[in-house]
Every structure is written in C-alpha cells, then in structure tokens.
Amino acid sequence: MRRAVVVALLFGCGINEVGEQVLDGSPAEAGDVAAIDVVKEAAPVVCNDAGVASCADAVAFRSPALFSPDAGAPCPAGYDSLDVVLSVPNAPTCGCNCTDAGAPSCDTTTVDYHTGAAGFCNTKTGKDTLSGSCTVLASLTTAGEYLQIDPPAPTGCGGGTSVPPATTNTNARLCTPQCASDESVCTAGTGLRACVSVVGSVGSCPPNYPSGPFYVGANPVTTCDTCSCVQQGDCSGSTVHLYSDTNCNTGDQGFPMDGVCHALSGGHIGSFSSERVAPNIKNAACKVTEGASHVTYGGNDFTVCCQ
C-alpha cells in the first residue's frame, strides 16, 4: 500500500540524473508547481510556545513591540507590520475667535438695583432697563430710603470659537512579533526601536521606556477643547443720571453705580421721569481662554513608549 502511494505522487513526472523533478508541461502539472511555490512563500511561522516575551523592563499590561516613529522601517521576518500615522499638533492650544461687540463699554441695557432703609439695601431687588441714550421711566424715591446700583457688566468681546492648529504627520510602523515569546522584540533593530505598546491614548510612559508617549493610529483628526472670550473691566465709575422730565433735560441728579448702599437725600428724593447712563470703563481687556489641542484617530489607536 505504501509503494502505491509513492507511485501515484510521481505519476506524470520524471526525475533527471541530478535528482530534479521534470514535468511534461501539461497545464495540470504547471498548476501543481505554482501551488507548491505559494505554499513555500506563505509558510507560517512556527512558534515554540504561546508565552509572553520576557523583556525584563516591560510592564505587564503593555505588549513589547518594535517601532519606527520616523520612517516606517521594514519589520523583521516573523513580525506583523502595521502602518500608522504619528500626528502632532504644531501648537499645544487652539486658536480662539471671539465675537466682536464693538469697543469695550459700560453702556448697558439692564442693571441690578437694591433698595431698603436704616442703612440696608435688602428690602427690594430688581432690574432697571437703561442705555446710553435717554430712557423714559416712572420712579419715586423717598426720604430715609437707601439705594444701591450695581456696576454694569462691561461689553465688548464674547463667545469664542476654537480654531485647530496645523499638524505634522509622519508615517510610522509598528512591528509586533508573531510569536509572543520572541525575545528579539526586546532589543532595537535597524531603524527600529525597542518599545512597548498599549491600545488607546495613555498620558505617560513607564520608567524603563521613557521615550514617548507616541500616540499613533489611522486617520488622525485634530480636535480642540472649548475656548471662551470674556470682556473684563471695571465699570464702578459709571453714573446713572435721573431727570424730572421725560427728555433727560431737567433736574439732573447723578447717582453712582458703584455697588455701594447709599442714603438718598437732597435732589435724589422726588419723582423722576427719565434716566441716562454715563458709562465709565477702566482696565478693559478681553480675556481669552484657549482650549487645548488633541489628536484623535478614526481607526485603531495605540500609545507607544520606547527605550
């Protein structure tokens, strides 16, 4: 039976005097040779065991790997190759476009007020509609009354829209051993560095792999934290002017908008029919808080730390 099997395998073939296999050129035989060649090229790596490479400095929750953060060096035989992108924002923060509301000012449309008696302004609280132009109103102030008008909020800049910085992208390559116990991953190779990798983004590296972290992946996108623009300034020097007529012409009485509780006396006691704000801003500045820039990946992402 064994002899019959050998004969069947050699049928249609000849052996020359140097021991090489000779075919008669039939299509079936040519196909057989092609199949043999493919098997030789795709021969699987045979691993002795399924253990983990015992790199002395590698931490348990990371996988040893070889990495090229610069040029995408070819992986050695017995390694799987993963092409990735190392994307780095050119600035740590994003730009911030602010909403422009004109020159900084204390000319506001509403203001908070507080009234009371006996040195306190805690009986009544409300909002008054004001503007830099004459505003018609109907108000009555009495003797013994105390009044506090809070400083207007300064206007100018506001909002805030983040603008991502440009990024520098570099092709990189991650080489992982097909045999988990392959100790060659513990030392650097030509154009490759001895590293450890972990899936996702990790902010720091282990002490014995201090170079990094390199955050790599596929399809990088630069994102931004929220930015804000806030108009700053001191409006406590502003004054509200009260008038007995409706055209802001008669009986002008100025009252400080300084957030202090003041006793009303003299011309501040009476009926008033119009008012107008005289805004006064000091130390005006648009405070811009920029958001940090980050890279996210649309495909698999890894953090790599190297020796």
Asked whether the beta carbons of 285 and 87 are under 8 A apart, the reply is no
Domain range list for the chain: 20-307
CB 153 within 8 A of CB 235: yes
Interatomic CA distance for residues 259 and 152, integer angstroms: 9
| 62 CB burial (10 A radius; 0-12, 13-18, 19+) | buried
Proportion of the chain above pLDDT 90, given as a percent: 58
> How would residue 248 be classed by pLDDT, with cut points 50, 70 and 90?
very high
**Alpha carbon distance 247, 267 (integer Å):** 18
CA dihedral of 238, 242, 247, 250, whole degrees rounded to 10: -120
Which two structure tokens, joined as six digits, stand for 16? 């020359």
Give per-residue pLDDT as tens, 269-283.
Answer: 999 999 999 999 999
Q: CA–CA distance from 230 to each of 58, 152, 206, 233 (Å)?
A: 48, 14, 40, 10
pLDDT of the residue at 295: 95
- If one compares 292 and 31, the residue with the highest pLDDT of the two is 292
The region that residue 88 occupies, defined by phi over 0 for left and psi between -120 and 50 for alpha, beta otherwise, is: beta
Q: What is the pLDDT of residues 219-244, one digit of tens each?
A: 999 999 999 999 999 999 999 999 99
Residue 153, C-beta contacts closer than 8 angstroms, at least 6 positions apart: 108, 231, 235
Integer Cα distance of 257 and 280 in angstroms: 10
Peptide bond into 27 cis (omega under 30): no
Of 19-33, 38-52, 244-258, the range with the lowest mean pLDDT is: 19-33
| pLDDT tops 60 at residue 2 | no
Q: What mean pLDDT do residues 129-139 have?
A: 84
Smallest CA-to-CA distance from 68 within 230, 181, 211, 182 is with 211
Note the Cα 161 to chain centre separation in Å.
13
Contact of 147 with 140, CB cutoff 8 Å? no
How many Å separate Cα 184 from the centre of its chain? 37
Q: Model confidence over 18-27: pLDDT tens digits?
A: 333 333 333 4
pLDDT tens-place string over residues 164-193? 999 999 999 999 888 877 888 888 888 899
pTM greater than the 0.85 cutoff: no
